[in-house]
């Protein structure tokens, strides 16, 4: 039978896993949510959840993966009678997330090109929107964004380019494609982020951004947000953000863990992934938020507008801004790609394993291509929907009426939110909750302990792990799941 090829080194594994974790969620979700949810308080809650929930789920997923040496579907089937269907939930989530992730990744490619045009003073640059912005009393970023949203063909083309790039890397295999790209790209992303932080934090007025992020209550006292969230809301937002950001609850870390060598230390790896992801989220905040407060003080702080309107305005107003714009959007494109390859790998790994077990070779190329075609179709739907502007959104189709204030529940306002709500809102937290119950109550925490202690390694946090996986983590997960459902569906 053909050999199942994994990561060439532990560094390569780490870069791929951190690459999966670090993505759009870090760069645009975290900074905003932190500021709007009490700054330092949010950070403390986030770290508490990172230790009691994120780390626990991370090490459990890695252990299941490495123990079975299989992708998510087969892995669950091998370890559990009751939960054997759970791998399929992960594959479904991967598809749903890929649909919108690729569309957003495509938008980011467009913004790299826009800034190249700006740098060259060419006709395809952000500069061409300056006149329209002056005439309409808007901003360069707002004009560039509405032009992109009004042109679904362009959005589709960039989205499909992003899908193709993702597919090409996954097609190269775990060691040959994913590991190689992440081993070079992740350190480069780190350096690029540092350069952007230095630039952003040395702008006059940047200090307000730091206050917004770190000083509890500053955002409310200064009218940046209307009212202070209650502690339950802070908890739910931090938990939801952490899950999405760590790529948990859908089999990615099971799949990556399945390629990990038996001699590597699981506890150490799980800690490094959680710490690095949080660090990069904070770094992204230090780069995005101070820029907004210094150069576009009325700009949106959350949602797609933060990335595609506010940040573009910041670069347009900054000396040598086009250069920093190119660097920043390239960094975002790479962060998104290193996440999308992990999503595609969850799908592809399962089918490759099946083919290999049936003695047909691993057929990676064929499966990567087929999965990419399905992802491409979903991505086209998201792009054509123009974030709800095109009359084909779920609420139009289902005939759901807006309330008296003209609002809709998030899940049905556009296809992007629809897929986000199913995956991030339900499947991921539910997947993580069930996995904890499976390990804590069906298999017993000893399974993780055994896997962590192979080849003379030790699992020093075993006592802590045992208590968390049985009681604390499931409890936190129930609260997070409740918070997500409340936010997205009501
Ligand atoms: N963790 C990624 C981010 O922060 C998103 C992601 C979610 C990737 C789930 C894979 C799986 O953007």
- Cα(342) to centroid(ligand 1), Å: 9
Ligand 1 centroid vs 90 CA: distance in angstroms? 13
Q: Is the CB of 20 under 6 A from ligand 1?
A: yes
> Which tokens in the block code for residue 114?
């826009």
362-380: pLDDT as tens digits? 899 999 999 999 999 999 9
State the pLDDT at residue 334.
97
What is the spatial distance between Cα 175 and Cα 165, in angstroms, rounded to a whole number? Answer: 17
**What is the percent of the chain where pLDDT is above 70?**
100
Cβ–ligand 1 distance for 149 under 6 Å, the answer: no
3-state helix vs strand vs coil in the chain, percent to 5: 80, 0, 20
Mutate to test the pocket of ligand 1, among 247, 283, 425 (most ligand atoms within 8 A of CB): 247
What pTM, to 2 d.p., does this model score? 0.95
Q: Is the dihedral of CA 27, 28, 30, 34 positive or negative?
A: positive
- Cβ of 63 below 6 Å from ligand 1: no
User: CB of 342 closer than 6 A to ligand 1?
Assistant: yes
Cβ of 23 less than 6 Å from ligand 1: yes
Tokens of 89: 């939930």
The closest alpha carbon to 126, from 323, 284, 278, belongs to: 323
Residue 252 CA to residue 258 CA, distance in Å, equals 10
DSSP one-letter string for 225-240: SSSPPPHHHHHHHHHH
Helices H, strands E: what count in the chain? 27, 0
Average pLDDT, the chain: 94
26 CB less than 6 Å from ligand 1?
Answer: yes
pLDDT above 90 for 32: no
Radius of gyration of the chain (CA): 22
CA–CA gap between residue 267 and residue 271 (Å, rounded): 6
Cβ of residue 24 lying under 6 Å from some atom of ligand 1: yes
Tell me the CA–centroid distance for residue 247 and ligand 1, in Å: 5
At 377, list the tokens.
Answer: 């179709």
pLDDT over threshold 70, residue 1 = no
How far does residue 127's CA lie from ligand 1's centre (Å)?
A: 32
In the reported structure, the alpha carbon of residue 368 is separated from the centroid of ligand 1 by a whole-number distance in angstroms of 19
Check pocket membership of 343 for ligand 1, CB cut-off 6 A.
yes
What percentage of the chain exceeds 90 in pLDDT?
86
Tell me: the pLDDT tens digits for 330-364?
A: 999 999 999 999 999 999 999 999 999 999 988 99
Confidence of residue 389 (pLDDT cuts 50, 70, 90): confident
d(CA 402, CA 410): 11
Point out the ligand 1 atom lying closest to the alpha carbon of residue 343. Answer: 10
Region 293-309 average pLDDT:
93
Pocket test residue of 16, 21, 280 for ligand 1, highest count of atoms within 8 A of CB: 21
Q: Name the closest-CA residue to atom 7, ligand 1.
A: 247
Judge contact between 365 and 170, C-beta under 8 A: no
Q: Name the residue with higher pLDDT: 390 or 197.
A: 197
Tell whether the model's pLDDT for residue 150 goes beyond 90: yes
Ligand 1 atom nearest to CA at 244: 7
Tell me, what's the pLDDT at 9?
A: 95
How far, in Å, is the centroid of ligand 1 from the Cα of 22?
7
pLDDT at 385: 95
Mutual orientation of helices 86-120 and 364-385 as an angle, nearest 10°? 70
User: With 70 as the cut, is the pLDDT of residue 241 above it?
Assistant: yes
Ligand 1 closest atom vs CA 21: 1
Structure tokens at 313: 């305005």
Residue 452 CA to ligand 1 centre (angstroms):
25
Provide φ and ψ at 463, rounded to 5°.
-60, -45
Query: Which residue owns the Cα nearest ligand 1 atom 10?
Result: 247
What distance in angstroms lies between residue 136's CA and the mean position of ligand 1's atoms?
37
274 lines ligand 1 (CB under 6 A): no
Ligand 1 atom, smallest distance to 335 CA: 12
The residue ranges of DSSP E strands in 263-401, in sequence order, are none
Phi-psi region of 352 (alpha: psi -120 to 50; beta: other; left: phi over 0): alpha
Nearest CA to ligand 1 atom 9: 247
Could you tell me the CA-to-CA distances from 467 to 233, 436, 441, 453 in Å, in that order?
A: 25, 11, 12, 18
Cβ–Cβ under 8 Å, residues 1 and 356: yes
Checking if the pLDDT of 490 tops 90, the result is: no
Distance CA(111)–CA(3), nearest Å, equals 41
pLDDT digits (tens, 9 = 90+) for 216-231: 989 999 999 988 888 9
| pLDDT exceeds cutoff 90 at 68 | yes
Residue nearest to atom 11 of ligand 1 (CA): 247
Which one, of 453, 439, 449, lies nearest residue 264 by Cα?
453
Q: Hey, whose CA ends up nearest to atom 6 of ligand 1? A: 247
pLDDT tens-digit readout, 99-118: 999 999 999 999 999 999 99
Report the residue among 18, 19, 22, 25 best suited for mutation to probe ligand 1: largest number of ligand atoms under 8 A from its CB: 25
Q: Is the CB of 60 under 6 A from ligand 1?
A: no
As a whole number of Å, the end-to-end CA separation of the chain is 51
Angle, CA 168 vertex, CA 359 and CA 187 arms, to 5°: 115
**CA neighbours closer than 13 Å in the CB half-sphere of residue 161:** 13
- Give distance in angstroms: CA of 80 to centre of ligand 1: 26
CA 181 to ligand 1 centroid distance, Å: 17
């Amino acid at each position: 039978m053909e050999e199942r090829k994994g990561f060439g080194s532990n560094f390569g594994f780490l870069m791929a896993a951190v690459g999966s974790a670090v993505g759009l969620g870090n760069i645009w979700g975290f900074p905003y949510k932190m500021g709007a949810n009490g700054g330092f308080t949010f950070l403390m809650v986030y770290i508490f959840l990172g230790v009691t929930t994120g780390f626990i789920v991370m090490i459990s997923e890695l252990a299941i993966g490495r123990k079975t040496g299989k992708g998510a579907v087969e892995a669950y089937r091998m370890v559990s009678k009751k939960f054997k269907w759970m791998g399929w939930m992960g594959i479904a989530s991967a598809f749903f997330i890929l649909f919108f992730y690729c569309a957003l990744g495509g938008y980011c490619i467009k913004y790299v090109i826009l800034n190249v045009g700006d740098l060259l003073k060419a006709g395809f640059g952000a500069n061409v929107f300056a006149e329209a912005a002056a005439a309409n009393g808007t901003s360069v970023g707002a004009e560039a964004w509405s032009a992109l949203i009004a042109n679904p063909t362009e959005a589709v083309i960039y989205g499909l380019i992003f899908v193709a790039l993702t597919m090409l890397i996954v097609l190269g295999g775990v060691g040959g494609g994913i590991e190689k790209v992440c081993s070079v790209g992740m350190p480069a992303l780190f350096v690029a982020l540092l350069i952007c932080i230095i630039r952003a934090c040395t702008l006059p007025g940047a200090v307000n951004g730091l206050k917004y992020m770190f000083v509890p209550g500053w955002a409310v006292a200064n009218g940046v947000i209307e009212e202070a969230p209650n502690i339950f809301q802070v908890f739910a937002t931090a938990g939801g953000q952490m899950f999405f950001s760590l790529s948990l609850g859908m089999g990615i870390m099971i799949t990556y863990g399945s390629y990990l060598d038996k001699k590597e230390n699981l506890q150490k790896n799980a800690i490094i992934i959680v710490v690095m992801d949080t660090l990069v989220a904070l770094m992204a905040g230090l780069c995005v938020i101070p820029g907004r407060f210094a150069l576009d003080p009325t700009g949106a702080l959350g949602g797609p507008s933060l990335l595609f309107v506010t940040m573009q305005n910041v670069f347009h107003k900054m000396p040598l801004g086009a250069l920093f714009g190119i660097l920043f959007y390239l960094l975002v494109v790479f962060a998104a790609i290193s996440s999308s390859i992990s999503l595609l790998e969850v799908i592809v790994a399962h089918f490759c394993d099946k083919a290999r077990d049936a003695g047909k070779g691993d057929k990676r190329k064929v499966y990567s291509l087929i999965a990419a075609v399905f992802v491409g179709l979903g991505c086209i739907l998201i792009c054509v929907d123009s974030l709800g502007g095109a009359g084909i959104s779920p609420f139009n189709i289902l005939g759901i009426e807006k309330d008296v204030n003209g609002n809709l529940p998030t899940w049905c306002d556009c296809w992007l939110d629809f897929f986000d709500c199913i995956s991030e809102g339900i499947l991921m937290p539910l997947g993580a909750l069930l996995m904890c119950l499976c390990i804590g109550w069906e298999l017993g925490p000893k399974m993780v302990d055994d896997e962590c202690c192979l080849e003379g390694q030790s699992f020093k946090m075993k006592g802590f792990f045992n208590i968390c996986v049985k009681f604390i983590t499931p409890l936190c997960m129930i609260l997070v799941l409740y918070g997500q459902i409340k936010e997205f569906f009501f």
